[in-house]
Each structure stands twice: as structure tokens, then as C-alpha cells.
Amino acid sequence: MRTRIKFCGLTRPGDVRLAVELGVDALGFVFATASPRRLVPEQVESLRQAVPPLVDVVALFMDNPGSDVVAAIRVLRPSVLQFHGGEDDAFCRSFGLPFIKTVAMGQGAADAVLARKRYPSASAFLLDGHGPGQPGGRGESFDWNIIPPLGRPVFLAGGLAPGNVGQAIRAANPYAVDVSSGIESVPGTKDGEKMQQFVDEVRRADRNAQQ
């Protein structure tokens, strides 16, 4: 199976266009208030215009009020929502779009096991290396060998970069890999060479798995 790729924390239309040219499957845009990659309203329209059809647009939140989510949906028109905080299943599904629930893996696999029960409506789970209550996108990895069966597609995140994503895919066999800081020069500014290298390493891992 081909490993899907999601680039997250995009803030510049040029980075969006390059990601699309590289064949990335999904693009994440951050509305979490504590994130250095948080978008302001003036950025959203130009970013959305840079996304062509058949590429998933993901809007990311962390304990935002419902009004923030509604406003972001209106301007970004995402295909998927992603929740990083303590939002419950009813809140996450109340917006009528598929959603990904992020699980903090910084203290082991216990939260992932609970998430399967707490979020029956989730379309997928994203496993990140941060601790509970902390924002993701901080480049913190976790033990890729401790992922329990979750009954949903798994997005692997946390500390991924061109130098280790192949190893992560071999260890965890995820549905998708999600990268933010691992392809940046500074938070929110993607590095084109790192973006290319990341995609190349994912494709290499997939080819090797088929041999």
C-alpha cells in the first residue's frame, strides 16, 4: 500500500504549490491559537486558491471554540478537520465533516487505546510525540513500535524528517505520515529541498516494502 503524505503548518502559497507538485496528498492549515504556524484571516484566501482539486485540505484546531471552527470552515472550505485538544467526539463530529483526532504518544500508548473508545466517529487517528495537553508540531518523536490496533487509519507524526521517515514507515506501517517542523527552515516556512527529500524517502520506503 502506498503511504500517504500530509504536509502541515503551511503558511505560504508557494509552499502549497510546491507540495502539490511533489504529489503530497493532504495539506494542513493551523488555526490553533498557541501555534507559531497559526493563520490569520488575511492569509487564508491566497492559500486556499493555491490548492487544486483532488488534494485534501485539512483545518487543524486545538480547543478552539466552535465559532472559530465554523469561521475557518467558511473561509478555508476544508475536506477534513483535525483536532489536537480535549474536544470530545460530539464536538468533533458536530461540524458535518470527517475528522482526524490527534493522540499524544509522549507518555506511551495508553491514550491511544482510550481514544479508540472515546472517539468512535473519528475517520482516523494521528499519533504525535508530544505529551497530553501540549501542542504538536514540535518535532518530538515516540517509539514507533508501540502503536496498538486502533481500527482506523493511522497518521504517524512527531519528529519525522527526511532522515528518519523511511525507518518510521518500516517500523509502524502507517496509512499516512504527517510532517511539519521536519521540512522547515523556521516555523511556518517550508524548505523546498527538505520537502523534496521527504517525499523521495517515503517513496523509497514504499518501493523497498514491495520488493
DSSP labels, 115-178: HHHH-TT-SEEEEESSPTTS-S-S-----TT-PPP-SS-EEE-SS--TTTHHHHHHHH--SEEE
Domain boundaries, the chain: 4-210
Does residue 127 carry a pLDDT above 90?
Answer: yes
CB 153 within 8 A of CB 189: no
Residue-wise pLDDT tens digits, 70-106:
999 999 999 999 999 999 999 999 999 999 999 988 6
Grid cell 490548492 is found at 51
Mention the CATH class of domain 4-210: alpha beta
What pairing do the DSSP bridges indicate for beta strands 184-186 and 189-190?
antiparallel
Please tell me the pTM assigned to this model: 0.94
Does residue 54 carry a pLDDT above 90?
Answer: yes
Amino acid letter for position 161 = A
Q: Please give the share of the chain, as a percent, with pLDDT higher than 70.
A: 93
Written as nine digits, the cell of 160 is 519525522
H/E stretch holding 117 reads helix 110-118
